[in-house]
Amino acid sequence: MPFYSGLNLKTLCAGVLLFSGVLTASASNSIPDPEPSTGWQDKEAVHAEHFMAVTAHPLATQAAYQILKAGGNAADAAVTTQLVLNLVEPQSSGIGGGAFMLYWDAKNQALFSFDGRETAPAAADADYFKDSTGQLMKWREARLGPRAVGVPGTLSLLHTVHQRFGRSPWTKLFAPAITLSREGFAVSPRMAKSIEASKEYLSRFSGTRAYFFTDQGVPLPEGYHLTNPGFAQTLELIAEQGIAPFYQGSIGKKLIETLQEASGRPSLMTMQDLNGYKTLSRAPVCARYHGNAICGMGPPSSGALTVGQILQLIERFDIAGLGLNPKSMHLVLEASRLAFADRARYMADSNFVEVPVAGLLDQDYLRGRSQLIQPSRSMGKASVGKPPGVTIAHAAMQQFEPAGTSHFSIVDAQGNIVSMTTTIESGFGSMLMTQGFLLNNEMTDFSFRASKAGQPIANRVEGGKRPRSSMAPTIVFDRTGVPTLVAGSPGGSRIICYVAQALIGILDWQMNPQQAAAMPHFCNRNGTTDIESHAGADRLSTALTGMGHEVRVRNLNSGLHLIQRLPSGELLGGADPRREGLVLGE
């Protein structure tokens, strides 16, 4: 695939929509929440003049801050951030997983989007998730062990972006994570709770059991001083030799051996699969909203398309005038129903499936879909639409997506921007560990079924394909093409709701980033309306139920990390109070 040269936003900000070209099982209720809440942490918006970083863990933010303070740029800080997160937040992301990144090149005024999503082994086919009797596996078993692991892409993405945009030496960027790995760090409250919640599964494999449990066989407690010399050795080799040891050499060979030796259904991944992995530079997907360009990651992510649809579907309503209340929330929830209906049918890896990207964001199409929204009554389950450009009839398929993932946002002193969402899929991924890092269970993001009622499912398993994602790293540009907001969140398929809601909070309801991150969540994925448990949840539930919503009040654990650039040029940052994130800037 040719390297994409970047999206210049002049045309977009003149009012013309730009988009990427089209390229030629149910879960068990017994599955623990992979990202348990650690209690509300009151936080205030942080101001800065020159640069800023916000990540899910204080040690990662501090490491990014030091890189930026020493003259490194956003690409440099992103490398360091991810490596430290791999160590201190291993349940959420790492070099054994995949990621999407938006990169704003301030000098050339160009936006890039990089696809570091995991890929299916070349030998994978429609029977990938069938057991020895020909029956589809249960999700809770399929996500464990070697069969769940896709070819990792995060390290390739970091290397690709650093080679193209980085300023600091590659080796320097590894130093913070190597030092922390050797000298140790205190296990955070969220990491300790995550280990406790997943102890049954972590104990199944010797490598994870040895790392995440004490010598007495107890899950690591909060405050435990943890070292990871194996990860330090892995990072030292990559720092010295680049990513070749991972994709072509000793680290990759050991990774394959780990998969072959682990119990469970055997993996089909080979060294050839690792050798062939490439980060793809794809055209960003942008949608207009009140004159702003809302830009994000296109297929195989459903993030930008679904967020873009939600915003354009509500644009005809006076959301700003209504303010945050049940009436405005109802409109957003109804738009979400419509957008998720389209997502379930049309969105997948565009290298394998003709995704009607332009049609899904077509103004006339969305204008017609928006007319289905009634201001005071829910439509119930939304029917899928038929956007322009649809050439193949696919079956709609919803699937379980766990809420494990992390997001970080970075703005450097030159104005370069990183918005990166990164994951190993479920909490602790496949539960398999090799050389100090965990391996993903991204294969379970594919549809377990290849077809439905005689129609193919867009997100079915195919060799070399990348599974559909909901990750939605986002950068917002104003009418003049100036980037004004950086956003993203973990949260499984609810990422889309969280990001859309934060954008509405800032653009329509004049919230600052910290207020937007702290706003109680509401989400509809074309089914039950989920409301975050909070003081006003019962009153809100009653109001929405009266409009025809089936409401469930529950924990909705996001990880929104936001940076806003004010008209003065000042940076304003917010970290999700539901997690341990920190904002630092200067």
Q: What is the pLDDT of residues 227-256, one digit of tens each?
A: 999 999 999 999 999 999 999 999 999 999
List, for residues 294-310, the tens digit of each pLDDT value.
999 999 999 999 999 99
Q: What is the mean pLDDT of residues 203-223?
A: 97
Spatial neighbors of 307 by CB under 8 A, at least 6 apart, are 287, 294, 296, 472, 474, 496, 499, 500, 503
Q: pLDDT-based confidence at 499, cuts 50/70/90?
A: very high
Please report the pLDDT score of residue 38 as a whole number. 60
pLDDT grade for 6, boundaries at 50, 70 and 90: low
Higher pLDDT, 198 or 10: 198
Which distant-in-sequence residues (6+ apart) come within 8 Å of 61 by Cβ? 53, 54, 55, 81, 581, 582, 583, 584
Mean pLDDT value across residues 12-38: 38
DSSP classification of residue 38: -
Q: Strand, coil or helix: what is 1?
A: coil
Amino acid at 18: L
CB environment 74-109: b (16+ within 10 A), e (fewer): bbbbbbbbbbbbbbbbbbbbbbbbbbbbbbbbbeeb
Predicted confidence (pLDDT) at residue 143 exceeds the cutoff of 70:
yes
3-class secondary structure, 571: strand
- Is the model's pLDDT at 22 over the cut of 70? no
Helix crossing, 495-507 with 326-346: angle to 10°? 140
Q: Name the CATH superfamily for 8-24+27-283+398-585.
A: Gamma-glutamyltranspeptidase, small (S) subunit (3.60.20.40)
Contact 492, 556 (CB under 8 A): no
d(CA 430, CA 42): 33
DSSP code at position 380: -
Please state the three-class secondary structure of 398-439 as a single string. Answer: CCCCCCCCEEEEEECCCCCEEEEEEECCCCCCCCCEECCEEC
- What number of other Cβ atoms are within 10 A of residue 209's Cβ? 15
Which residues in 366-392 are b (16+ Cβ under 10 Å) and which e? beebbeebeeeebeeebebbebebbee
Mean pLDDT of 546-556: 97
Catalytic residue annotation? 405
Listed residue (571, 554, 406) closest to 483, CA to CA: 571
Estimate to the nearest angstrom the gap between the alpha carbon of 328 and the chain centroid: 26
37 confidence band (pLDDT: 50, 70, 90): low
Q: Averaged over 423-443, what is the pLDDT?
A: 96
From CA 256, how far away is CA 279, in angstroms rounded? 20
Query: 354 is written with which tokens?
Result: 């003709």
Asked whether the beta carbons of 489 and 407 are under 8 A apart, the reply is yes
* Distance from C-alpha of 44 to C-alpha of 294, rounded to nearest angstrom: 25
> What is the DSSP secondary structure assignment for residue 144, as one 8-state letter?
S
Q: Give me the percent of the chain exceeding a pLDDT of 70.
A: 91
pLDDT band at 10 (very low <50, low <70, confident <90, very high): low
Contact (Cβ atoms closer than 8 angstroms) between residue 98 and residue 117 = yes
Pairing of strands 280-282, 225-226: unpaired
Say how far residue 277 (Cα) sits from the centre of its chain.
Answer: 20
Q: What is the pLDDT of residue 137?
A: 87
Residue 36 has pLDDT above 60, yes or no: no
Q: 3-state DSSP call for residue 64?
A: helix
pLDDT of residue 40: 74
56-113 pLDDT tens trace: 999 999 999 999 999 999 999 999 999 999 999 999 999 999 999 999 999 999 999 9
Give mean pLDDT, residues 579-586. 97
pLDDT at residue 25 in the model: 29
385 and 343 in contact (C-beta within 8 Å)? no
Per-residue H/E/C for 244-309:
HHHHCCHHHHHHHHHHHHCCCCCCCCCHHHHHCCCCEEECCEEEEECCEEEEECCCCECHHHHHHH
Contact 230, 410 (CB under 8 A): no
CA 486 vs. chain centroid, Å, equals 14
Q: Give residue 221's pLDDT band: very low, low, confident or very high (50, 70, 90).
A: very high
Is the model's pLDDT at 159 over the cut of 70? Answer: yes
pLDDT score of 505 more than 90: yes
Determine how β-strand 98-105 pairs with β-strand 110-116.
Answer: antiparallel
pLDDT at 398 (0 to 100): 55
Assess whether pLDDT exceeds 90 at residue 42. no
Strands 292-296 and 285-289: antiparallel
Q: If you average pLDDT over residues 439-464, what whole number do you get?
A: 92
Q: Where are the domains of the chain?
A: 8-24+27-283+398-585
Q: Are 431 and 208 in contact (CB under 8 A)?
A: yes
Cα distance between residue 422 and residue 442, in whole Å: 12
Of 18-27, 41-50, 239-248, 408-417, which gets the smallest average pLDDT? 18-27
464-486, pLDDT tens digit by residue?
Answer: 999 999 999 999 999 999 999 99
Q: What is the pLDDT of residue 400?
A: 54
The per-residue pLDDT for range 306-330, each reduced to its tens digit, is: 999 999 999 999 999 999 999 999 9
What mean pLDDT is reported for the chain? 92
With CA atoms as reference, report the closest residue to 559 among 30, 103, 38.
38
